[in-house]
Amino acid sequence: MAPKKPLCLPSLLLPILTLLLPQADTRSFVVDRDNGRFLLDGVPFRYVSGSLHYFRVPRVLWADRLFKMRMSGLNAVQFYVPWNYHEPEPGVYNFNGSRDLIAFLNEATIANLLVILRPGPYICAEWEMGGLPAWLLRKPTIHLRTSDPDFLAAVDSWFKVLLPKIYPWLYHNGGNIISIQVENEYGSYRACDFNYMRHLAGLFRALLGDKILLFTTDGPEGLRCGSLQGLFTTVDFGPADNMTRIFTLLRKYEPNGPLVNSEYYTGWLDYWGQNHSTRSIPTVTKGLENMLKLGASVNMYMFHGGTNFGYWNGADEKGRFIPITTSYDYDAPISEAGDPTPKLFALRNVISKAFPEPQVKNFAQGSPNRDYLYGFPMVPKRIWAQFQEIPLGPLPPPSPKMMLGPLTLHLDGDLLAFLDFLCPQGPIHSILPLTFEAVKQDHGFMLYRTYLTYTVSEPTQFWVPNNGVHDRAYVMVDGGLLEPPVLGQTILTHWLMFPLKVDKLVKWWFPFQLLKRSHPETPSGPAFYSATFPISGSGRDTFLFLPGWTKGQVWINGFNLGRYWTKRGPQHTLYLPRPLLFPSGALNRITLLELENVPPQPQVQFLDRPILNCTLRKTYIYSLSAGVQGTSELMQLSGH
Ligand SMILES: *[C@@H]1O[C@H](CO)[C@@H](O)[C@H](O)[C@H]1NC(C)=O
Ligand SMILES: *[C@@H]1O[C@H](CO)[C@@H](O)[C@H](O)[C@H]1NC(C)=O
Ligand SMILES: *[C@@H]1O[C@H](CO)[C@@H](O)[C@H](O)[C@H]1NC(C)=O
Ligand SMILES: *[C@@H]1O[C@H](CO)[C@@H](O)[C@H](O)[C@H]1NC(C)=O
């Protein structure tokens, strides 16, 4: 597609920008192909960057994490923008609170970090559906990440909202964004649709102008389909890969530009049911050292991993879906709780050696010119000279942690006891079960209910053909789905579907109080448990340990902390950041939705360190009792 006219800014914005940025015209970030390097304001430059995802860190902690990254010797931060985090419904946008991307850009500016932005539309990132909104699937024929007009129309309208927001933040416009990635590892996707990549490149140019550096990132095998003429090509690989071989391969696609590894893996992600991943410090530092010796620019993925709160953890498709844990610690240099690790200090040592001595300067003790910069939406030019320098200021020590408990939880009641509150609008009727997407439930839980009109007197197999459940379903007799479920040889029909507003109920927990039954007996099926607890002072970071619990979801003061799956591991504790807790004087509330079995002592504990590395190696078997007697109600609870 031919580039369109450059972007039109809202007319009010231009005079304001001019006012703040008298030197905007002298700012530039370009590729110097004659000398195989980048130039920042005309001066040779390379970046040592780290990945940090604002959507995996509570907003109040952004500044802390960014500041620690800067003090580790980094001069840039690289991050994705997950489309599904910002456009929950077609045409409905959310850039509030923890979704305030502009506030994050501002925090990066205050921390003196340049920005390498990766807006997708697909981001992967082990994030729910790779950042694509689930509502795209309401059109069952849609071809994601291709030039399918339905997909392109949705992408175009999203980028027409997103890209104008970031336009003022481009480096040459006075902001800190030096480059922007188009798509993400597109070469690893089977479609290999160059028209799609060309469309995206045209769209970015039309909305962002000609000056901004656009680039692609792929693993070595993906370079063929992922790179595109006109876009700067970068590669990604980890410490165990052969740097010489991969950079030689990159030269086929990017013969003269600076060498860039956009994702140098400092660690790795964890899957439920597999061993905790680690990468040793010597291999990670050695690889970085080799790349810096070559003069390459590097982004370390992740520098701080964070947490998959809520239902945002994704799943990898490897024949079947393999879900990623709630923790995204990643064995990264800054731990999930925001603490500097030995890996950080080892990497900082390598970085400081790679930059010439005279450039190494001490930063103001403790804070990076914060007073000076605070409140400025844009950074004055002379500050950027410091990107050539390594700040060797002190890093704060690990934040103090607290221990608490054990805390006994009480049964609030079965999930089904709250059905009227969880689904106040009543069920959706359909002959065959509908998918989550079809009933506009993007994640969380849905109850599928049908009544058996005949007697099943013998144990009979209940099944969903063709691997039709892509998420996870619990079957209850008497108290998702792509193929009709079958009982024996009969296709079950006439379903009632209850999309459940679980998070709303937990947040406004008063119905629990209103509904409190005489006294809870033993639960049948998924059930809510809760407790209240005070803390002393303003509290500290802590790690929630759920010994003996099986699988479910946990909330602190209505905030969805994420999934737990103690029975499977490797993650046994959930990171609980201090800002989620009410200080002394108020009670905190913990709520669990346990989907399976509760320990004899329904207790939880708060620990002062995480347990991320205990995997139950035995295959974990689910028992479903067969045998349906009489005319019965058959229900399925499905989680997404
Ligand atoms: C975002 O904040 C604005 C202003 O406070 C508010 O009007 C709007 O409803 C919020 N949007 C969402 C999606 O929360
Ligand atoms: C790395 O790749 C280069 C070039 O292909 C090759 O010469 C070298 O032997 C490889 N090194 C290792 C350790 O495999
Ligand atoms: C997981 O760790 C255990 C214990 O260290 C080891 O025996 C096993 O081989 C590991 N499994 C995998 C798949 O690496
Ligand atoms: C888990 O990690 C802790 C702390 O790093 C370590 O002491 C322990 O040996 C590890 N356990 C396993 C099973 O790897």
The pLDDT > 90 percentage for the chain reads 62
∠ CA 287-289-292, nearest 5°, is 110
pLDDT-based confidence at residue 320 (cuts at 50, 70, 90): confident
7 or 215, which is more confident: 215
Contact residues for 392 (Cβ-Cβ < 8 A; gap 6+): 73, 352, 360, 361, 362, 363
The pLDDT assigned to 490 comes to 67
Beta strands 297-304 and 260-265, pairing class: parallel
Beta strands 410-414 and 527-533, pairing class: antiparallel
* Average of per-residue pLDDT values in the chain: 84
pLDDT in tens, 549-567: 999 999 999 999 999 999 9
**Which residue CA neighbors atom 12 of ligand 2 most closely?**
242
Report CA(634)–ligand 1 centroid distance (Å): 40
| Three-state secondary structure of 124-154 | CCCEHHHHCCHHHHHCCCCCCCCCCHHHHHH
The pLDDT assigned to 489 comes to 62
| Three-state secondary structure of 222-274 | HHHHHCCCCCEEEEECCCCCCHHHHHHHHHHHCCCCCCEEEEEECCCCCECCC
Lowest mean pLDDT of 124-133, 302-311, 378-387, name the range: 378-387
Measured in degrees and rounded to the nearest 5, phi and psi for residue 530 equal -155, 170
**Which residue CA neighbors atom 5 of ligand 1 most closely?**
96
With a cut of 90, say whether residue 293 has pLDDT above it. yes
User: Tokens 């914005």 appear where?
Assistant: 13
pLDDT (mean) for 241-263: 97
Other CB atoms within a 10 A radius of the CB of residue 473 amount to 17
pLDDT (mean) for 205-219: 98
pLDDT-based confidence at residue 279 (cuts at 50, 70, 90): very high
Other CB atoms within a 10 A radius of the CB of residue 197 amount to 25
Following CA atoms 471, 474, 477, 483 in sequence, which dihedral angle do they give, to the nearest 10 degrees?
Answer: 10
Report how far apart the first and last C-alpha atoms of the chain are (Å, whole number). Answer: 37
pLDDT (mean) for 45-58: 96
Length of the chain: 640
The pLDDT assigned to 360 comes to 33
Report CA(538)–ligand 4 centroid distance (Å): 30
pLDDT (mean) for 510-526: 60
pLDDT (mean) for 496-524: 70
Provide the token pair at 410: 């009480």
What are the b/e assignments for 264-290, b being 16+ CB within 10 Å? Answer: bbbbbbbbbbeebbebebeebbebbbe
Nearest-ligand number for the alpha carbon of 88: 1
Following CA atoms 164, 168, 173, 179 in sequence, which dihedral angle do they give, to the nearest 10 degrees?
Answer: -70
| Pocket lining for ligand 4, CB < 6 angstroms | 613-614
Rounded Cα–Cα distance for residues 423 and 414 (Å): 14
pLDDT-based confidence at residue 533 (cuts at 50, 70, 90): very high
The pLDDT assigned to 296 comes to 96
With a cut of 50, say whether residue 524 has pLDDT above it. yes
Whether 101 and 95 have beta carbons less than 8 Å apart is answered as yes
Lowest mean pLDDT of 401-415, 454-468, 556-570, name the range: 454-468
The pLDDT assigned to 174 comes to 93
pLDDT (mean) for 413-438: 84
pLDDT-based confidence at residue 382 (cuts at 50, 70, 90): very low
Rounded Cα–Cα distance for residues 50 and 77 (Å): 5
pLDDT in tens, 217-227: 999 999 999 99
Report CA(263)–ligand 4 centroid distance (Å): 27
Lowest mean pLDDT of 386-390, 544-548, 572-576, name the range: 386-390
Task: Name 263's bridge partners.
Answer: 236
Whether 539 and 578 have beta carbons less than 8 Å apart is answered as yes
Mutate which of 242, 248, 286, 290 for ligand 2? The one with the most ligand atoms within 8 Å of its CB, which is 242
Provide the token pair at 181: 């990635």
State if residue 89 touches ligand 1 by the CB under 6 angstroms criterion.
no
Catalogue the active-site residues: 185, 263
The pLDDT assigned to 466 comes to 54
Report CA(332)–ligand 3 centroid distance (Å): 21
The pLDDT assigned to 258 comes to 97
pLDDT (mean) for 356-362: 39
| Three-state secondary structure of 518-570 | CCCCCCCCCEEEEEEECCCCCCCEEEEECCCCCCEEEEECCEEEEEECCCCCC
Helix, strand or coil for residue 108? helix
pLDDT in tens, 441-453: 877 888 878 777 6
pLDDT (mean) for 604-626: 70
The pLDDT assigned to 444 comes to 81
Mutate which of 85, 94, 95, 96 for ligand 1? The one with the most ligand atoms within 8 Å of its CB, which is 96
The pLDDT assigned to 37 comes to 94
Beta strands 495-500 and 445-451, pairing class: antiparallel
The pLDDT assigned to 631 comes to 37
The pLDDT > 70 percentage for the chain reads 78
Rounded Cα–Cα distance for residues 89 and 111 (Å): 33
Rounded Cα–Cα distance for residues 45 and 319 (Å): 43
Lowest mean pLDDT of 326-330, 371-375, 377-381, 438-442, name the range: 371-375
